[in-house]
Amino acid sequence: MFSLAAASSSAASRAAAVAVAASPLLPSNHGRAKVSTFSSHQASLCCINTRSCSSGLGPLTVKSMAAEADIVSMPKTESHSPASRKKQALISLSDKRELAVLGRGLHELGYTIVSTGGTATALEAAGLPVTKVEQLTSLPEMLDGRVKTLHPNIHGGILARRDQSHHMEALDKHGIGTFDVVVVNLYPFYEKVTAGGNIEFEDGIENIDIGGPAMIRAAAKNHKDVLVVVDSGDYPALLEFLKGSKEDELFRRKLAWKAFQHCASYDSAVSEWLWRQTGGEKFPPDFTIPLSLKSSLRYGENPHQKAAFYVDKRLDEVNAGGIATAVQHHGKEMSYNNYLDADAAWNCVSEFKSPTCVIVKHTNPCGVASRNDILEAYRLAVKADPVSAFGGIVAFNVEVDESLARGIREFRSPTDGETRMFYEIVVAPKYSKKGLEVLQGKSKTLRILEASKNEREKLSLRQVGGGWLAQDSDDLTPEEIQFNVVSEKQPTESELSDAEFAWLCVKHVKSNAIVIAKNNCMLGMGSGQPNRLESLRIALRKSGEEVKGAALASDAFFPFAWKDAVEEACENGVSVIAEPGGSIRDKDAVDCCDKYGVSLLFTNVRHFKH
């Protein structure tokens, strides 16, 4: 049963409640609790400490010691043997979801609940008896709520090992009870600093939890004797476990792991935020990447590889867009390769300002087109390489309405005019109600994603064996660079526009990369070849006769020109070439273009993509 401790009304008890006990310091218990103690009752405690900040309740006002004595004074009780200790739980919650359910479940199982502040108030409002923490510590909450549970009467009861007789003797000597269950979650620091607008530095500091992590870590360390819960989703499992008679060490360990991971993620957010406040460089000397499992995947790149998908919980990624936070409206579960391809398609299409369709296969854009009529853009993107487009990912940077959805659903392959195009994924920033209904009717398996645009200047991370590479994301757009004419022939306005379009496409193609485009439409691309000449030849073959008068963009400079890629492009009718420049043979490229009357533009920006 629950026991609600009552405060003594005698003057002597009040005096004892606010004075430091004359007893010696609590024995160290191997360093587990080394704070001087105050008189308190002895009990085996299940401690619930509810955090006040998320409930809208401010920190409790610190009262004078004399005034507080009426509330917190407690007579010291007789020592009890471990067999006679009452079951008790400590609860301290900022997020109070399902608190009443938890409280009732513990009460029905015979636990005494110990709590503080807003949590205690919420439990009392639910009709549950509560012992307040100050009744154990003989001290009020103080320092604007900074100190509530940092006391040996709390931490001694959490950290004491039940199988160590000298630990239990120390508790008995000082009238400290044990806690069997500790349920704590933390001040909502993450939510506060990501809520929009710049939080004041002092507000951020005050939302850093101290007592909560201390209790969580203490309980997790002593998980053999103390069950620690940090997630309301685990309340049912906790109560079910407490109802049973069998011990389960693995269950305790999993809760302890989750508790330490909870604290680690919390600390990583505090660390990231504080680094921002120092005005430090983009690449700190140390940092932690908190990841949260979104889904277990059927397999990785190949069926023999196990895989999972995690969401990046860094502060920099909050509301920063991207495929990881996309909403799936329809279709089969996403696969490892689906995520990679959808990410590539979405990153590419999001860079275009005009209504654009991008089709991706194996992370390379095989069709790109921009038109005011988005349905026409879609058809042109498919036409660029209908064989590759089949089974690919289709991305749009505008809403998919009913007309576009019907076009996607019914469009036949240009190769034979009969085969209905099949896609793995459609991704767009939004869908009309009717458009979504039409698309859902195309296939039960078609994955329909709604995503938000990636923010610029993200930190790009990539794993190598034993380490990580970090760099700025490649965010440059044609408007931010200069297309310097180095040839005799000046490009026309339409040629320059085509060169800019091809340049924006080629940055998303795997190196060595060549893109040929005309009239804001990709005609052909060559990707991933060890030499640039082979990439050029693939792009020329895909472009066919339309290459004449088209623009060509290369992700890097041409190391050779004569009897190589530059001359071959000129001979096939390309009218303008855009490349970074920077080769020791740049003059050969200029001379070659001048011979064939082709415009050559140096961008001074390379776009390697590995």
Start-to-end CA span in the chain (Å): 65
Quick one: which of 436, 433, 463 has its CA closest to 447? 436
Residues 228/47, Cβ–Cβ less than 8 Å = no
Phi, psi of 154 (to 5 degrees): -95, -55
Phi, psi of 181 (to 5 degrees): -135, 135
DSSP symbol at 76: P
| Cα distance between residue 235 and residue 148, in whole Å | 24
Residues 314/194, Cβ–Cβ less than 8 Å = no
Length of the chain: 610
419: tokens are 């085969």
Residues forming beta bridges with residue 489, ordered by sequence position: none
CA atoms within 13 A on the CB side of 436: 15
Residues forming beta bridges with residue 296, ordered by sequence position: 308
> What is the amino acid identity at position 445?
T
Residues annotated as catalytic (active site), given as ranges: 221, 362
| Cα distance between residue 277 and residue 127, in whole Å | 45
Quick one: which of 66, 68, 106 has its CA closest to 87? 106
Task: Find tokens 């000298």 and name the residue.
Answer: 166
| Cα distance between residue 452 and residue 308, in whole Å | 22
